[in-house]
Amino acid sequence: MSSSSSSFGFEQDASGNDRSLGELFSDMTNQLSTLFRQEVQLATAEIRQEASKAGQAAGMLAAAGVFALGGLALLAFSLAYLLAELLDSFSLGFLIVGIVLAAVGGLLFVSGRKRLQTVNPKPEQTMETLKEDAQTIKERRP
């Protein structure tokens, strides 16, 4: 048996007293407000999680750039100089090293881009629950 029943179109509370339209509207407004706050909290949590993933991917790309620029510059110069001595041609030694560094940079870029593409900025779970909430409201509407 339900805790509220209808008497001549008026809702009754648990004690059997008729509830006014204003009270019913107030309850509905409070429930909708609570529902909206919960949905916003869920969306915020989802967005924060995706932003964290994007930040990690961006950090990896930045670190790759720093290492590629700093550490490899010295190694590249050393290798280019060594090849120049072995091949007896400075331009050929530096060209070979430049091509290798460009290939490594390209691989790092592709890897970082793939990881960045896994980031989903849409709060999927929130969107799904909002659709469910809207459907529930439609079903309960007289």
Which pLDDT score is estimated for 16? Answer: 59
Which pLDDT score is estimated for 15? Answer: 62
Does 7 map to a domain?
A: no
- The total number of residues shown for the chain amounts to 142
Q: Is 123 exposed, middle or buried (0-12, 13-18, 19+ CB in 10 A)?
A: buried
Does 3 map to a domain?
A: no
Does 5 map to a domain?
A: no
Does 6 map to a domain?
A: no
Which pLDDT score is estimated for 17? Answer: 65
Does 8 map to a domain?
A: no
Task: Tell me how far apart the alpha carbons of residues 126 and 81 are, in angstroms, rounded to a whole number.
Answer: 58
Q: Which residues pair with 19 in a beta bridge?
A: 11
Domain that holds residue 43: 21-134
Which pLDDT score is estimated for 99? Answer: 92
Which pLDDT score is estimated for 107? Answer: 95
**Which residue, 36, 38, 32, is CA-closest to 141?**
32
Check if the beta carbon of residue 50 is closer than 8 Å to that of residue 119: yes
Which pLDDT score is estimated for 85? Answer: 92
Which pLDDT score is estimated for 2? Answer: 45
Q: What is the mean pLDDT of each run of 10 residues along the chain (142 residues)?
A: 47 64 83 86 87 90 86 86 90 89 91 88 80 78 62
| CA-to-CA separations, 7 to 19, 35, 117, 127, 142, in angstroms, rounded | 10, 29, 58, 38, 17
How many domains is the chain built from? Answer: 1
